[in-house]
């Protein structure tokens, strides 16, 4: 609590110079806080633009080193892989997720062979990039099957671990999947593979550009409100995180990011566990377009990222990760 009164107490004194502001700042932002998402596409010599995400691209496997070389040179600690799956490879059960030659598996083999442990690899565990209906799980009679989906997610996680994934990241929001995945990983001697759970994932309107990027937007049947969280709820987030920690999550995530800073703080204050925030595609698109139209300036990016740190996030998954490292002190 602040004691003292004006004029002997002048809070502006500590803000008078740049060096003083740097000495007294309460939170810092560095390259160590950032994770770069990367989109994959089939074919050769491809670097595809994504209409709804300015300056973000899909890379074919042979051109993947272009973006990963950049990430490594900037000393980013981790990348996250997301596939754009061809329509002909999608079906009701998302069987392509279990194909050892799918885009994610090919990328894992390349990155591990070329870069070893110079950079960490996070892989999304969910079926939505692979299903013809666009949902994260198995669909039957317009309902998402929980337990049956979890069994597939376990197989997907084991395949990714076998291919070299460092951090398994279930984003599906099925009940009980963390415990099942952890048990299966340990049984197959993948005891050192980490689990970053999308523990608090809201049914949000901010995901649109991402669904464009992975090709699921126009095929999604209905919505995801029966398994992703209601934006009205906050205490429910504590229950979700508590369960995932008990089941073996090493880290947890809150998604989306900026509209849910209160949830990041709530989770961090209640659980002393690494908390990740995902500055999702809609947030990225809004900020990027506002900068392009000179509604706001580029400093907005750093300000929003610092907001995550102030709220308690240990790390931030952001499409700005490879674009702003030169601006970090």
Please identify every residue annotated as catalytic.
201, 255
Separation CA 181–CA 292 (nearest Å): 42
């Amino acid at each position: 609590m602040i004691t003292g009164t004006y004029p002997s107490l002048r809070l502006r004194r500590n803000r008078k110079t740049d060096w003083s502001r740097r000495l007294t700042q309460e939170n810092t932002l560095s390259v160590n806080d950032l994770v770069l998402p990367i989109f994959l596409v089939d074919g050769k010599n491809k670097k595809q633009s994504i209409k709804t995400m300015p300056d973000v691209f899909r890379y074919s496997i042979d051109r993947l080193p272009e973006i990963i070389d950049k990430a490594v040179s900037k000393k980013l600690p981790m990348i996250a892989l997301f596939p754009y799956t061809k329509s002909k490879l999608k079906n009701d059960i998302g069987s392509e997720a279990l194909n050892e030659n799918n885009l994610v598996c090919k990328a894992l083999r390349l990155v591990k062979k070329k870069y070893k442990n110079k950079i960490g690899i996070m892989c999304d565990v969910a079926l939505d990039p692979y299903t013809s209906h666009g949902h994260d799980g198995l669909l039957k009679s317009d309902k998402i099957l929980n337990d049956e989906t979890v069994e597939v997610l376990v197989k997907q996680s084991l395949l990714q671990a076998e291919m070299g994934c460092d951090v398994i990241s279930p984003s599906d929001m099925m009940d009980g999947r963390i415990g099942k995945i952890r048990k299966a990983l340990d049984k197959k001697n993948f005891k050192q593979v980490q689990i970053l759970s999308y523990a608090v994932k809201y049914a949000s309107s901010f995901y649109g550009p991402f669904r464009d990027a992975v090709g699921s937007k126009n095929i999604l049947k209905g919505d995801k409100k029966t398994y992703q969280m209601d934006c009205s709820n906050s205490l429910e987030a504590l229950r979700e995180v508590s369960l995932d920690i008990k089941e073996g999550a090493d880290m947890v995530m809150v998604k989306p990011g900026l509209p849910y800073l209160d949830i990041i703080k709530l989770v961090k204050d209640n659980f002393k566990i690494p908390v990740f925030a995902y500055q999702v595609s809609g947030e990225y698109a809004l900020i990027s377009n506002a900068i392009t139209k000179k509604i706001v300036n580029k400093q907005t990016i750093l300000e929003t990222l610092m907001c995550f740190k102030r709220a308690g996030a240990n790390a931030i998954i952001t499409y700005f990760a490879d674009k702003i490292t030169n601006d970090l002190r």
